[in-house]
Structure 1
Amino acid sequence: MNLQEVSLFLVITETRSLTQAAKRQNISAMAVSRRLASLERELGVRLVQRTTRSVSLTQEGLEFLPYARALVDAETGARALFSPSTQDAAGLLRITAPSGFGRRNILPLIPELLADNPRLSIDLQLSEDVVDIVGRGIDVAIRIAPLKDSTLIARKITDNPRVICASPAYLNAQGTPRSVADLIQHNCLRLSSVPQWIFEREGEILRVSVEGRFSSDNVEGVRELCVQGLGIAQFTRWDVTKEIQQGDLIELVLADVEPQALSVWALLPSTRYLPLRVSTFIDKLKSSLTSGINAAGE
């Protein structure tokens, strides 16, 4: 299989245009069309649907996409393996992560990653949406919620249980809840997407309806009002590690339930060949979060 044609196919999937792919590769649109047709003939399938303005992947194109990336990444890795001058991570690293977690725990890592790896570029997409990482060309997705069955490969980075917190000022004024039933007496600040708070009891999931005067689709907003003393809120631990360490928030323990055990996961399209840029990022994130755990325990 011609790797230049495979690489061109990846450019076409990114630009969604034969014309734009030609400009990026500095060749004619006719040459792009010929090389794409050559790859399709070799595979015996149609990879893209062509229109006058854009192209879209066929089902066969979607299925071939992760293999195409693996082939190109494997070639890049093989070249780097035998070139002492190119031992740093290189290429475009595409990451998707929840917005709150990404701003607090991934964005601070970017300057050092780029400084240590001059040939690396990073595209960080922060969103609460669960995206198709294969179809969108994402290298790694950071997920917090419980994982659903899928063909993706999951690597655990660290534990991240749900916790409930309040500011010292709020607890001094309103008292400290000791059980789930006590939550009824408190103003509970909620994420709009999480209408019920989730706990565990004897290994079973327990969903508790809570009431409050404020909700938001943004974890930063809920955290800010919680710090200001407007109520109690439920977060995942990595949303509030800093505030707990500084004493701005206090983690509450309820006698009749336990925090839901969640984790921070890195989801990958495949581990058949893991590009150095991906493993470098995962190692960096894991090291950073581990350092945070150690700091919290001191």
Structure 2
Amino acid sequence: MDLAALAVLVETASAGSLAGAARRLRITPMTATRLLAALEHELGVRLVQRTTRSLSLTAEGQAFLPHAQALVEGEAVALASLRGTAAGASGLLRLTASLAFGRQVVAPLAVEFMRANPEVKIDLLLTDSLVDIVAEGIDLAVRIADLADSSLIAKRLADNPRLLVASPAYIDRFGVPTELAGLQRHECLTVSASSHWDFRSGDMSRRIKVLGRFTANSIDAIHEACRGGLGIANLSHWDVQQDLKEGALVSISLADAYPEPLSIWAVYPSRRMVPAKVRLFIDALSGHLKPRG
């Protein structure tokens, strides 16, 4: 049985189309169609139901899919065992992260990782939108959030403390709040999808509505607006630490609360047969994020 054809079936089921499967496998749609047709001919059943608008697995395809996945994953494990642990990672690693964190942390780490693993290729997608990693064929997503329940696997990598910050120019003009209630009298820079910030006050979580004339769908844009004196921002420590050192931004402390910290997570599609390239990159990122003593 042709493992390339099995890979087409597995990726077609995940991507929802032969074209999507072809993109993930780096083959032409015509080749993907031919391989799937050959597999159906060999098995003597139709695995995929095609229409002009959609594609879905037949009952036979659904029944066969777990076996195809096991065979494809088994091949990857077998090849990895032949290379040995000293050989490191190999193949295409598709990653996604937010724009700011990806630019400042993931992209520089990817350079180091590729130097240490010369058989690895990396495709890095930076976006502040939530990516469906299964549909997009992503091997690993790095997310900074309180994660919702899902079928994905998530590994917590590090704390992500946040700070209220503003530029010296803003503070000179408007001062700073000293308590949580005072934030509502200031210009606050928020992401477009949310006008609330979360705080810890003692053992309690508090969510407050904040207002401002500037919103954006990008943390990078909010950061720049904050540096430019437009208002107060609630940003991650890794994002503002250099500005704090240089005096471009000033940290604001409240007497009765502090911003709710988030966590940095590695998110991947399945716990079964995690490829070496994914495991090793997670280890590298986890080590990079550990506090320096």
Q: TM-score band (shorter)? A: 0.7 to 0.9
Change (3 A) 1:35 1:144: same
How do residues 40-119 of structure 1 correspond to structure 2 at under 5 angstroms? 41=45, 47-51=47-51, 56-58=55-57, 71-84=71-84, 87-119=87-119
- One of 15, 35, 38 as aligned partner of 1:34: 38
TM-score by length of 1: 0.80
- Which segments of 5 or more consecutive residues in structure 1 lack a partner in the other structure? none
Alignment partners' CA distance in 2, 1:222 and 1:18: 34
- Structure 1 residue 265, shift from structure 2 partner: 0.6
- Which segments of 5 or more consecutive residues in structure 2 lack a partner in the other structure? none
Higher mean Cα deviation, 148-157 or 13-22? 13-22
Alignment partners' CA distance in 1, 2:231 and 2:280: 40
Aligned residues: 288
- Structure 1 residue 281, shift from structure 2 partner: 1.5
Q: Deviations over 1:126-183 (max 9, x none)?
A: 2233333223322112221211112221101111133211123332443232111221
- For the aligned residue pairs, the C-alpha RMSD in angstroms reads 3.5
Change (3 A) 1:245 1:233: same
8 Å contact kept, 2:12–2:21: no
8 Å contact kept, 2:6–2:39: no
- Structure 1 residue 18, shift from structure 2 partner: 10
- Structure 1 residue 39, shift from structure 2 partner: 5.8
| Amino acid aligned to 1:228 | G
1:121 maps onto 2:116 in alignment = no
Instruction: Identify the residue that residue 133 of structure 2 maps to in structure 1.
Output: 133
1:16 maps onto 2:15 in alignment = no
Q: Deviations over 1:8-47 (max 9, x none)?
A: 3246566724996896599695454021454685xxxx65
8 Å contact kept, 1:196–1:210: yes
Alignment partners' CA distance in 2, 1:138 and 1:47: 24
- Structure 1 residue 73, shift from structure 2 partner: 4.0
8 Å contact kept, 1:65–1:135: no
Change (3 A) 1:28 1:149: closer
- Structure 1 residue 185, shift from structure 2 partner: 3.1
Higher mean Cα deviation, 251-260 or 151-160? 251-260
Other structure's SS at 2:267 match:
strand
Alignment partners' CA distance in 1, 2:116 and 2:244: 31
| Amino acid aligned to 2:169 | A
Change (3 A) 1:87 1:222: same
8 Å contact kept, 2:8–2:36: yes
8 Å contact kept, 1:5–1:39: no
